Structure 1
Amino acid sequence: MLLSWRHYMHISEGVLSPPVLALGGVITVAGTAMGLKHLDGEKIMTTALLTSTFFVASLIHVPVGPANVHLILSGLMGITLGWACFPAILTALFLQVLFFQYGGFTVLGVNTANMAVPAIICYLLFRPLLTSGKKGQKVAAFASGFIAVLLGTLFMAGSLFASDQQFFNTAKLVCIAHIPLMFIEGIITMFAVTFLAKVQPEFLQLKTK
């Protein structure tokens, strides 16, 4: 199996080349170190809650074509946690490997990087829009959910292709299968951020006016 087909973004062990594994490991170590540096007391509860949400959401699978897809919520984690999403995603994926054998320990770095890097990109691009009014807030949230899944899928495909060009067709099929998820994640992230901004802005670290 090229991927853990039942589990979106979980590349199986024995598939990726050593250089790709090494690069993913380096990125994850560096990102986690940065995330822990930014993980202050105010973010611990939020990070723990979103880590558990990420863990549970990814256990619910829906068949789409050749693969099963599930919610990722990496866009929501990125725009909410910033760099702290790296240790959050790493922790959730580690527990999934430990308890359910999703992916594997040797590919943990790559699988984490493939989800956390897009989340950070969304944080850097869209976080400032959360305080630009309701319309900007909705646009930022939807874009974060959509683009996080889009980039995560492309990074996963790139990891496979960089290891062996014969994986191109497989990676292309998985990307196509996850197009609906991109819109679903965008909508869910938009509603989640809009709701939290109204009832509990401190969860998003937004200043109340």
Structure 2
Amino acid sequence: MSGGPLPWLLTHGSAALLFAALVAGGVGVPIPEDLVLLATGILAHQGVLPLPLALGLALAGVLCGDLALFLTARRLGPKLYEHRRLRGLLPPERRERLAKLYSRHGGWVVFGGRFLSVLRGAVFAMAAVQGMPLRRFLLWDVLALCVSVPVVVGLGYVFSHSVDRVAHGLGRVEHGLAIAAALGLVLLVTVRALRARREARPPEGAESHGRQAPPVH
């Protein structure tokens, strides 16, 4: 097994440690969330944790980390964009594009951001700065967590005998989930655009009915 945080988590793993690692990773500590979830599944397979407890622990830990990040970003407001990490991830032009997406499809942006490890924190922080209600953020984040957490924990549980191979394949899994979320967002936008165009179109015959006949000389 290669070095890194995964072997350490498997050696010292406990419910409290895994939970603390997930919360810390959510607020910006450089602890890869997916590796912690993978370790949770492996420890469940080894009998250190019951699988239902492992899943519940993983969901609660990630959600608490996301919630802490959201509340911190909401308290800091727009000055959060001056942070050195967010300046690189969210330059003005990218913030403008994201702001337009939030105004139209804020919930789906949060849902898709859950599957983008590089932009996840920035997407959640911007949701808070853009004024998304906490209840709405939690709804969409929980929906995404119900997909991502069982997948990664399940991979650790099922393939615990080949940890390194699964760890290297996590990027592909995350990439596939991100593509699926993006396709869902594109489909939603397309359906809404077609529906709006259909509703804006006048009923057949209304246009000709509204025209006045030319005067007869």
Measured against the shorter chain, the TM-score band is 0.3 to 0.5
Please give the TM-score of this superposition, normalised by the length of structure 1. 0.41
Please give the TM-score of this superposition, normalised by the length of structure 2. 0.40
Higher helix share: 2
